[in-house]
Amino acid sequence: MAPKVLVSDKLSETAIQIFRDRGIDVDFDPSIGKDKDKLLAVIDQYDGLAIRSATKATEKIINAATNLKVIGRAGIGVDNIDRAAASKKGVIVMNTPFGNMITTAEHAIAMMFAVARQIPEASASTHAGKWEKSNFMGVELTGKTLGVIGAGNIGGIVCERALGLKMKVVAYDPFLSEERAEKLGVQKVDLDDLLARADFITLHVPKTEQTSNILNAEAIPKMKPGVRVINCARGGLVDEAALAEALKSGHVAGAAFDVFEVEPATDSPLFNLPNVVCTPHLGAATTEAQENVAVQVAEQMSDYLLTGAVTNALNMPSVTAEEAKIMGPWLALAGHLGAFIGQMTSEPIKAINILYDGTVSSMNLAALNCGVVAGIMKAGNPDVNMVSAPVIAEERGIKISTTNQNKSGVFDAYIKVTVVTETRERSVAGTVFSDGKPRFIQIKGINVDAEIGRHMLYTTNDDVPGIIGVLGSTMGKNNVNIANFTLGRASEGGQAIALLYVDAPVSDVVLAELQATGKFNQVSHLEFDVS
């Protein structure tokens, strides 16, 4: 059955056709995005939800979406999606951060020109039949210093464009390396230095706890007198009331804002002030950008629903289609290793340590980690997946550590998972053979070679004669067919284990019968998600 996607906002017909061409069953109804009750009533029918800004993917909507696997936002901002609720529900949230980069950067540059030359006010005056040439004395951009707060994708383009205008560029970005700054041709500075030196300041950061009101009543006085401020990023990065006061006092010569703390912005301290240019969140509003983000979100969602490839996800490591093909068996193995330990561990888990050896150590370890953690968490919560499991682990205070190393043994690659509780450590290791089938190769430090089946019986015992006979006769007597049988021991007469791959679940009656023989230290039925 083909995956089903709801497009509840206005997207280009090209994007809708991409879904259809890829074999996705798509419903296109932009009216639903504005009707939360209607969306709530139908959302359980869909595997994917493609939106822009009109649709609000609230916790209530997400919790009602019993089949939902992915939400795709055509654009950058995801303020209209409850990401925490999506992650807990195991729903991937994607955006398209690159489709409107150029458009948004160009708008920032256009706004800088507009405020430098007072173009909107001069236009309005001239339209009114006035000729107030002397009232609109502007400033050149050439030779001026532009301070860029946030030199990521969009900020980097702004830097390049500004250098093309013969401006000097300084950038504040804690994540900007010296190498990247040098490549861009900008000087990396701290925030106070930027404020003191910049003739123009433009912001290109997301709104976070760290960036909220980054230009506030304390920061604004540190700015160079006569500075002009441009914000085409997110509302709430600048204290609008404090900036309005600085504009009135003349400390700030002008401002250009495309985004506001409250949107739609019907009122703002910045409105109706001289030399303040305002636009209604037009940063991404070009024909090219709208088409780009729509096409990108359709391709990303189709890739995920059809191949498992994850691109531009905000709550899941990215996995390319090529990686998904290669890593498929290893992701399955990661889940099985986690499932083994999860089913065997009844105590609260303090730490999960994951070792990657050989060729697997160069794969997408973030995704493999998610697979391991999901396998562990499913023992207590069958509804978790690779998206929600790390969130649950973090909530429980579980520490997750990863080690990768070159080939160290007979296997080209293997994964070893160790779980630490208050009283013990438990480990299991596995590999993928050339046939693409995952196998357990070590349990509790004891070497084995066990094919993984949906239903398995795990036992531990002291290495004494008669164990195989008891297992075989008990299974036969209870009509449980054995598909495969693996033994391992630490040493002669020492601790030993057995793994039986069986065709059907082992009942509690059978488990109790085995335990009653007195020959086993532990007897457990295990179940694995084997397709």
Which residues are known to be catalytic?
A: 234, 263, 281
Q: Quickly count: other Cβ atoms within 10 Å of residue 420's Cβ.
A: 19
The label of the residue with tokens 């990215």 reads 318
Residue 381: closest CA among 50, 16, 373:
373
C-alpha radius of gyration, the chain, whole number: 30
Q: Determine phi and psi for 430, rounding to 5 degrees.
A: -155, 165
274 vs 254: CA distance, rounded Å = 8
Counting every residue written for the chain, the total comes to: 531
Helix axis angle, 13-21 to 287-307, nearest 10°: 20
Q: Determine phi and psi for 133, rounding to 5 degrees.
A: -55, -40
User: Residues 6 or more apart from 365 whose CB is under 8 A from it?
Assistant: 356, 402, 404
74, 296 contact by CB (below 8 A): yes
Q: Quickly count: other Cβ atoms within 10 Å of residue 66's Cβ.
A: 10
102, 122 contact by CB (below 8 A): no
User: Residues 6 or more apart from 203 whose CB is under 8 A from it?
Assistant: 149, 150, 214, 215, 230, 231, 232, 233, 237, 238
Residue 338: closest CA among 387, 394, 376:
376
User: Taking the C-alpha atoms of 480, 481, 484 and 485 in order, what is their torsion angle to the nearest 10 degrees?
Assistant: 50
Sequential DSSP letters for 124-182: HHHHTT---GGG------TTPEEEEE--SHHHHHHHHHHHHTT-EEEEE-TT--HHHHH
499 vs 443: CA distance, rounded Å = 10
68 vs 49: CA distance, rounded Å = 8
Alpha helices for 316-466 (secondary structure H): 321-344, 365-378, 388-395
Bridge partners of 461, per DSSP, are: 496
Q: Which helix (H) or strand (E) holds 63?
A: helix 59-64
SS3 at position 415: strand
Retrieve residue 105's tokens: 């950067």
356: amino acid identity, one letter: Y
Sequential DSSP letters for 304-326: HHHH--B-SBSSS--B-HHHHHH
351, 422 contact by CB (below 8 A): no
257: amino acid identity, one letter: F
Q: Determine phi and psi for 194, rounding to 5 degrees.
A: -60, -45
